[in-house]
Amino acid sequence: MFLSLAITRRKLILALAVGAVLLLMLATPLLDLPERLAQAVNPTERLVPIYYVDTNEKKVAFSFDASWGAERTEEILSILRNNDIKTTFFLTGFWVSEYPELVKLIVKEGHEIGNHTATHPHLASLTLEQIKEEIKNVEEMIHQAAGVRTTLFRPPFGEYSNEVIKAATELGYKTIQWSIDSLDWQNLTAPEITERVTSRSHKGAIILFHNNGLHTAEALPEIIKYYREHKYEILPVSELIYQEDYYIDPHSGAQIKKKKSKNN
């Protein structure tokens, strides 16, 4: 009986301790509770990119990765210009080196430039300093070509790790993924690309295209028409995402605005 009472007492003490911790977290308005709970459950922080923005506003961002070829880029730029749309182009170093005039044209057209590494490597195989060199090298190439600095980073192949995001963050970058993949790089037909991108539409989406997808330019007008008809605003990535006071859900990659405390 004494042993039974001792066990019951230990359980009671443990329950009271857990309750006290939860009450302390609830009573602390300085940080968002979901973020604090995630850290409490998983003290080893898992870093993730921004996949999409948690928002009630009907806004999406179009983004184009440029890693190979350029023969369809001017047609894409023309379509965007005719529809008065600004987007984000993530450029690799070897693409910048081969097509410096197109880099200038993209900037002249009012689009945002993002960093997609110098050589498009598998970053997980590199050291922290090697990752930083990949980012810094293309940043300097873009600056020399078009006079702009990059602040958004997209890892090649969508592959990332804590080390990759840490390297980008230490260089002042936000790491950007996507929530809708057009799969235009698989040479889908224009109707197939359109169906993928429109059927998966949601508020705060970041949409992935490629500057030289075989049927990307053909699909764009219908995609734009769909989003316009459904009252979505199409923006560059930096105008969609939050610049401060946010956290990223470690499971979904949603960028979530922190709630203001009652004392503010």
Q: Among all residues, which ones are annotated catalytic?
A: 65, 210
State how far the Cα of 138 lies from the Cα of 91, in Å rounded to an integer: 8
Angle at the Cα of 49 (from 140 to 249), degrees rounded to 5?
A: 155
State how far the Cα of 179 lies from the Cα of 250, in Å rounded to an integer: 14
> Looking at this protein, which amino acid is placed at residue 80?
L
In 3D space, the residue among 78, 103, 101, 79 whose CA is nearest the CA of residue 90 turns out to be: 103
Q: Which two tokens stand for residue 228?
A: 């316009």
Q: Which two tokens stand for residue 184?
A: 């235009």
Could you give the 3-state DSSP secondary structure of residue 257? strand
Q: Which two tokens stand for residue 72?
A: 């369809």
Which residues, in sequence order, are CB contacts of 191 under 8 Å at separation 6+? 219
> Looking at this protein, which amino acid is placed at residue 264?
N
Which residues, in sequence order, are CB contacts of 211 under 8 Å at separation 6+? 64, 65, 66, 69, 70, 72, 73, 76, 89
